């Protein structure tokens, strides 16, 4: 499972990007069924443009959104799109409930499905954002640690951005597939930008990182133990576009127009990686030089229940609350 890699991205470029697709689970947000308290948007097919406010993370996951905006797909669909930067997908949940944000882009499936299962909000999945690929997410250790394969991680301490979330769930699945008892591993919560220093200071034995932090760690001399996007977690869905059920009900034509325009952007991003690389520096702190060699996740352009059910099933197996029927949450 070990992978080789020639790509190197500077730590300076990496540390500026907060990858919130694997961010904190929902907490401290308002409770209730959720939805916009503002008047319903005008029909996307009617006179004028329907307004949609999207809370978006400055991460690679949201590239399809920015590509769709650049290519004019939202305007063609009769939408007036406003992108509001957010630092964490779950931090935007109160804004969704209060109606100042209509859609959250790059929303971590695990956290939002947990929020749905706990009744914090009633959500609708409008579209997928990204599925992980081998070069974009993995476990890294120092050469001096002697950790070269998943079996070597038994009894070790691994840094994750958040415990009991998508990182620990997928890592446990990969370790179990390699004969490692996940309960033998200790997870320590450390923010992505601080993981490399924790590793070099030997406060942890390995770190679980995504791009661009993965490339930064490898560029600093660390070695990839295993990709986390492999075996049972291969092509695992990471994030999507979420709205409240009440907003979708009040603005059905707008929601469908948004979905259609976004899926066109997703398809274009998947087919034109060079366009994604050119647009990343416009909304993230990734430099053009770093973007030129940054590994990209895949950008699904259709919304189906099977990938979402993979997330829920893994959550349930990991002891987390999850919706029983994910398919009922999708906008069809």
In this structure, the answer to whether residues 168 and 197 fall within a common structural domain is: yes
Q: What is the pLDDT of residue 2?
A: 40
Neighbours of 328 (CB within 10 A): 10
In this structure, the answer to whether residues 24 and 54 fall within a common structural domain is: yes
pTM above 0.75, yes or no: yes
- In the sheet with 206-210, reading across from the earlier edge strand, the strands are 186-189, 157-160, 206-210, 137-141, 223-227
Question: Is the separation of the CB atoms in 283 and 65 below 8 Å?
Answer: no
Q: What is the pLDDT of residue 49?
A: 63
Q: Kindly write down the DSSP assignment for every residue of 3-55, as one continuous string.
A: --------HHHHHT---GGG-PPP-S---SS----SPPPPPTTSSS-EEEEEE
40 is a domain residue: yes
Q: By CB neighbour count within 10 A (0-12 exposed, 13-18 middle, 19+ buried), where does 292 fall?
A: middle
8 is a domain residue: no
7 is a domain residue: no
Determine the longest span between alpha carbons in the chain, in angstroms.
65
In this structure, the answer to whether residues 91 and 218 fall within a common structural domain is: no
179 is a domain residue: yes
In this structure, the answer to whether residues 268 and 126 fall within a common structural domain is: yes
CA dist., res. 164 & res. 240, Å (int):
19
Q: What is the pLDDT of residue 319?
A: 85
From 199, 233, 267, the end of a domain falls on 233
* Rama region for 314: left / alpha / beta (φ>0; ψ in -120 to 50; rest): alpha
Q: What is the pLDDT of residue 9?
A: 39
In this structure, the answer to whether residues 58 and 200 fall within a common structural domain is: no
CA dist., res. 260 & res. 127, Å (int):
9
Number of domains in the chain: 2
Backbone angles phi and psi of 104, in degrees to 5: -105, 125
In this structure, the answer to whether residues 213 and 244 fall within a common structural domain is: no
In this structure, the answer to whether residues 201 and 75 fall within a common structural domain is: no
In this structure, the answer to whether residues 184 and 240 fall within a common structural domain is: no
Q: What is the pLDDT of residue 210?
A: 82
324 is a domain residue: yes
From 233, 248, 272, the end of a domain falls on 233
137 is a domain residue: yes
Strands 237-244 and 103-108: antiparallel
pLDDT tens digits, the chain, 332 residues: what are they? 444 343 333 333 333 333 333 333 333 333 333 444 444 444 444 434 699 999 998 888 999 999 999 999 999 999 999 999 987 788 888 999 999 999 999 888 988 999 899 998 899 999 999 998 888 889 999 999 999 999 999 999 999 987 878 888 899 999 999 999 999 999 999 988 899 999 999 999 999 988 778 888 998 999 999 999 988 888 999 899 999 999 999 999 999 999 999 999 999 999 999 999 999 999 988 889 989 988 899 999 999 999 999 999 989 888 889 998 899 999 98
In this structure, the answer to whether residues 240 and 103 fall within a common structural domain is: yes
CATH number at residue 213: 3.40.190.10
Structural domain including 172 reads: 133-233
Query: How far, in Å, are 25, 31, 94, 111, 114 from residue 28 at the CA level?
Result: 10, 9, 9, 13, 13
6 is a domain residue: no
In this structure, the answer to whether residues 116 and 219 fall within a common structural domain is: no
In this structure, the answer to whether residues 147 and 290 fall within a common structural domain is: no
From 208, 233, 258, the end of a domain falls on 233
In this structure, the answer to whether residues 290 and 265 fall within a common structural domain is: yes
């Amino acid at each position: 499972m070990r992978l080789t890699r020639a790509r190197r991205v500077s730590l300076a470029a990496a540390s500026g990007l907060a990858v919130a697709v694997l961010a904190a689970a929902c907490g401290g947000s308002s409770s209730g069924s959720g939805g916009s308290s503002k008047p319903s948007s005008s029909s996307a097919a009617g006179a004028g443009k329907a307004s949609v406010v999207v809370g978006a993370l400055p991460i690679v996951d949201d590239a399809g959104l920015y590509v769709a905006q650049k290519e004019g797909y939202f305007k063609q669909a009769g939408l007036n799109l406003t992108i509001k930067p957010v630092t964490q997908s779950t931090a935007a949940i109160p804004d969704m409930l209060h109606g100042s944000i209509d859609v959250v882009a790059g929303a971590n499936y695990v956290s939002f499905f947990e929020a749905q299962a706990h009744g914090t909000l009633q959500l609708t999945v409008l579209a997928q954002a990204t599925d992980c690929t081998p070069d974009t997410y993995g476990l890294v250790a120092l050469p001096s640690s002697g950790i070269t394969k998943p079996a070597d991680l038994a009894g070790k301490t691994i840094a994750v951005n958040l415990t009991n979330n998508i990182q620990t769930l997928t890592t446990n699945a990969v370790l179990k597939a390699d004969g490692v008892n996940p309960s033998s591993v200790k997870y320590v919560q450390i923010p992505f930008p601080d993981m490399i220093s924790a590793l070099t200071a030997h406060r942890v034995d390995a770190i679980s990182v995504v791009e661009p932090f993965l490339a930064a760690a490898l560029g600093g001399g660390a070695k990839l133990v295993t990709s986390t996007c492999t075996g049972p977690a291969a092509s695992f869905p990471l994030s999507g576009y979420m709205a409240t059920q009440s907003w979708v009900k009040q603005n059905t034509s707008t929601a469908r127009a948004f979905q259609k325009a976004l899926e066109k952007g997703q398809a274009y991003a998947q087919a034109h990686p060079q366009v994604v690389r050119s647009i990343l520096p416009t909304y993230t702190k990734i430099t053009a030089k770093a973007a030129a060699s940054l590994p990209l996740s895949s950008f699904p352009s259709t919304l189906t229940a099977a990938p979402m059910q993979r997330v829920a099933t893994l959550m349930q197996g990991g002891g987390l609350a999850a919706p029983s029927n994910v398919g009922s949450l999708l906008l069809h």
